């Protein structure tokens, strides 16, 4: 009997864009075949809660609870708490919906009981009947700090409160030097049946970089038998959502899918860029490592098709032994 072409897949994932591909992967792979490792550099302590925007976006997306209009938070959301908080003069720059607050409270309760972030996430996703593994990159706090023209800002201050207006000079990951990958992330990295490591179309600088910055992770990806493939978050010189394009400009990178490819450098065995950027393939010395297809994920079908493209492309690159 022949082995299935694909065995297990590790997806490295940020928020919205990454969550879309993660959903596509979850719809074509069994729970045993997929580990979704999620950035926690955006996490922050706010009003007594530990808020994990990327973990929650992936969770809501896989649970079918995400809000398609807003691109974050829960669908059918209400804002009575936030309105009352505004009336009381409390901080409302981070918009907490009534039902969204519950996930932060449930996590707070689990962390206060001594559970790790990975355990808390597993319990919450189980309650939401998600069978695929959504895993924080680390159980230890890593906090993305953006050094800007306006001084150092925590990620949420930069991203939400200042709406990405300040010019980025440097990005660092507080705690990233010493935080260990979560045991579930370790397990996926050590899995002998791993056949692809997919870097989802998330912001390379603030969503993927914190995961790669964990001690040993980048080297382990580089030396891994399974091919490492990134999907470009830049399409025709623009990001579908978020500050990726603005950051690339401010950091002097070429604002194109090629700029993303160059940023990841020799970490990648393969790179998927949008069909609109197919013309860029010939411009690169490593064009045999490129694959172009539709990467705009508007429908669930788009998500599943892109997931399939990723796995088929991984097959052509082969497990490198």
Tell me which residues touch its own copies (CB under 8 A): 47-50, 74, 78, 80-85, 87-91, 98-103, 105-106, 108-109, 112, 123-124, 127-128
**Residue number, 87 or 266, with CB nearest to its own copies:** 87
Residues 6+ apart with CB under 8 A from 121: 52, 55, 59, 107, 134, 135, 136
Least Å distance, CB 153 to its own copies, is 18
Minimum CB–partner distance for residue 63 and its own copies (Å) = 10
Rounded least distance, CB 249 to its own copies, Å: 35
> Smallest distance from the beta carbon of 58 to its own copies, in angstroms?
15
CA atoms 181, 247, 298, 61: torsion sign: positive
Q: How far apart are CA 197 and CA 314, in angstroms?
A: 9
**CB of 62 or CB of 212, closer to its own copies:** 62
Return the number of the residue (27 or 46) whose C-beta is nearest its own copies: 46
* Residue of 311, 42, 93 whose CA lies nearest to 203: 42
Which tokens in the block code for residue 122? 């597993």
User: Of 105 and 236, which CB lies nearer to its own copies in the complex structure?
Assistant: 105
Report the length, in residues, of the chain: 321
Kindly report the CA angle at 238 between 230 and 316, in degrees rounded to 5? Answer: 25
Q: How far is the CB of 162 from its own copies (least distance, A)?
A: 18
Residue 272 in contact with residue 313, Cβ under 8 Å?
Answer: yes
Q: Match 């355990």 to its residue by tokens.
A: 119
The two three-digit tokens of residue 174, written as one number: 């507080």
Query: Could you tell me the smallest distance in angstroms from the CB atom of residue 88 to its own copies?
Result: 4
């Amino acid at each position: 009997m022949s082995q299935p072409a694909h065995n297990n897949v590790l997806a490295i994932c940020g928020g919205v864009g990454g969550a879309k591909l993660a959903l596509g992967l979850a719809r074509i792979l069994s729970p045993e075949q997929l580990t979704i490792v999620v950035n926690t550099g955006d996490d922050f302590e706010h009003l007594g809660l530990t808020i994990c925007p990327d973990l929650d976006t992936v969770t809501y997306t896989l649970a079918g609870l995400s809000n398609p209009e807003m691109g974050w938070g829960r669908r059918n959301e209400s804002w009575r708490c936030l309105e009352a908080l505004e009336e009381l003069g409390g901080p409302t720059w981070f918009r907490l919906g009534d039902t969204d607050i519950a996930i932060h409270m449930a996590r707070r309760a689990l962390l206060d009981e001594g559970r790790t972030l990975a355990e808390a996430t597993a319990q919450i996703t189980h309650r939401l009947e998600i069978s695929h593994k959504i895993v924080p990159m680390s159980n230890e706090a890593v906090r993305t700090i953006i050094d800007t023209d306006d001084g150092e800002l925590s990620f949420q201050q930069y991203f939400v409160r200042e709406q990405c207006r300040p010019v980025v000079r440097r990005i660092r990951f507080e705690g990233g030097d010493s935080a260990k990958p979560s045991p579930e992330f370790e397990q996926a990295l050590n899995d002998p049946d791993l056949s692809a490591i997919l870097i989802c179309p998330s912001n390379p600088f603030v969503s993927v970089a914190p995961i790669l910055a964990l001690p040993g992770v980048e080297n382990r990806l580089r030396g891994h038998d399974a091919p490492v493939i990134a999907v470009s978050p830049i399409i025709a010189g623009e990001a579908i959502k978020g500050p990726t394009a603005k950051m690339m400009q401010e950091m002097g990178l070429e604002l194109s899918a090629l700029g993303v490819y160059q940023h990841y450098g020799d970490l990648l065995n393969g790179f998927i860029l949008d069909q609109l950027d197919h013309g860029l393939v010939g411009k690169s010395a490593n064009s045999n490592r490129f694959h172009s297809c539709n990467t705009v994920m508007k429908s669930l079908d788009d998500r599943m098709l892109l997931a399939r493209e990723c796995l088929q492309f991984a097959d052509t690159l082969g497990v490198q032994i």
